[in-house]
Amino acid sequence: MQHPPDSIPSAMAASNSQLPRLRLVSTRREAEEELAGEIRDLCARKPAAVLGLATGGSMEGLYRELVASHRRGELDLSQARTFNLDEYLGLPADDPRSFRAFMREHLFNGVNLDSDRIHLPDPLAARADPGGYGAAWERRIEAAGGIDLQLLGVGRNGHIAFNEPGSSASSRTRIVELARATREDAAPSFGGLEKTPRHAVTAGVATILEARALAVLVFGPHKAGALRAALEGPVGPDTPASFLRLHPNCRIWADREAAAELGETWNGA
């Protein structure tokens, strides 16, 4: 089944949002160990699981746990498939600041994923034919059977993947212009804001919400405002992470610093 650009997942058809399951943890290591265990369980039940992967600091500890699990003989990814969410435009294929390089360093080089089952966005192909590339990426996910578990972080401005504020619930895989806040956060890696990429290719909000389950990691005081807006603010494009409330199977792990601005609804989560 192919999706027109303005279609949204059935999970989003309900008129009312719902509360994701929030797990408050004392340390991020606690969250990383728990989620790594759930990924091990998923891959044991379904060896050919399809995993949606994210990049960034929120994922580094989780990937260390998965590599350690594999080395202990507890995790076999030989039949799994993976799809990454996004990639910067304008970087050479071998650029060490690319998300491709990030994935090799933090996960791929340490586990037994088959290279033919790893799917990474191709920024050159996306730039050459944005519409065609986005549609082809969506078809590739569909041909794999859909994503079983999508990993996510939340940006300081409330973005998920590179769906910046203003992204609609119906957005699909496409090229986007990166928000200044996103570029500022990435600037140290690129030697300054002016050297930081201005565009990226990203899976859309609707693409993300079609995954059967979402697992979100949010750590640190700099994410507190974004988490509050995502869970307590209006559901809408001003905070793309708020669309997570439209998914029937979304779990969020947050440390106390990230959850510091949440109301009493979340006490004891």
- Cα dihedral 121, 56, 159, 194, rounded to 10, equals -80
pLDDT in tens, 170-203: 999 999 999 999 999 999 999 999 999 999 999 9
Copy the structure tokens of residue 137: 């990426």
Residue 86 bears catalytic tag: yes
Those residues whose C-beta lies under 8 Å from the C-beta of residue 40, and which sit 6 or more positions away, are 69, 74, 75
159: annotated active-site residue: yes
Distance from C-alpha of 74 to C-alpha of 49, rounded to nearest angstrom: 15
Query: Do the strands 149-153 and 50-53 form a parallel or antiparallel pair, or are they unpaired?
Result: parallel
Quick one: which of 162, 164, 129, 141 has its CA closest to 239? 164
Judge whether 249 counts as a catalytic residue.
no
Distances (CA, A) of 1 to 40, 129, 131, 215: 30, 22, 18, 25
Rounded to whole angstroms, the Cα distance separating 212 from 205 reads 14
Catalytic residue among 32, 65, 84, 86: 86
- Tell me the whole-structure pTM to 2 decimals: 0.92
Catalytic member of 65, 157, 185, 210: 157
Q: Write out pLDDT tens, residues 215-267.
A: 999 999 999 999 999 999 999 999 999 999 999 999 999 999 999 999 987 86
What residue spans define the domains of the chain?
Answer: 38-262
Q: Is the pLDDT of residue 5 over 80?
A: no
| Active-site entry in 159, 185, 247, 255 | 159
DSSP state of 116: G
Q: Annotate 105-119 with b (16+ C-beta within 10 A) or e (fewer).
A: ebbbebbebeeebbb
Residue type, position 133, single letter: Y
Which CATH number applies to 38-262?
3.40.50.1360
Residue 157 annotated as catalytic: yes
Average predicted confidence (pLDDT) for the chain: 93
